[in-house]
Amino acid sequence: MFDVQHRDERLPAKAWVLGLAVDGDAKAYPFDLLAQRVGPDGRLDDRVGGRKVHIRYDATQRSAEAFDAEGRALPAVAAFWFAWVAFHPRTQLLAPR
């Protein structure tokens, strides 16, 4: 494959995450943790880069999307942890409850 210069052991390298960067801050949402943290409607409210964001997780499709407070889609990427953190080494992680 390719050599990854930055390694981060907070998650297994091939953990699937939704990565989101807003106003210079980055945050990763591990899918396994999203499955536990979203409400009955599949939604998680959070803050990234000082802005309110809404994460929608679909356990059936194993997919996730990010939206701003007004409901507009935010650019986010589903990726393996090692790939996301290679480009965003200072990324925050969604914390367990």
The pLDDT tens digits for 21-62 are 999 999 999 999 999 999 999 999 999 999 999 999 999 999
Instruction: Report the predicted TM-score, pTM, of the whole model to 2 decimal places.
Output: 0.92
Do the domain assignments include residue 11? Answer: no
CA distances from 38 to 23, 26, 57, 77, 79 (A): 24, 20, 7, 18, 19
76 domain-assigned: yes
Mean pLDDT of the residues in the chain: 93
Structural domain boundaries, residue 54? 16-88
Would you say residue 93 lies in a domain?
no
Confidence band, pLDDT 50/70/90 cuts, at residue 5: low
Q: Would 46 be classed as within a structural domain?
A: yes
41 in a domain, yes or no?
Answer: yes
Residue 96 inside a domain? The answer is no
* Residue 10: inside a domain: no
81: left (phi over 0), alpha (psi -120 to 50) or beta: alpha
Q: Report the pLDDT averaged over residues 54-81.
A: 96
Residue 36 placed within a domain: yes
Number of folded domains that form the chain: 1
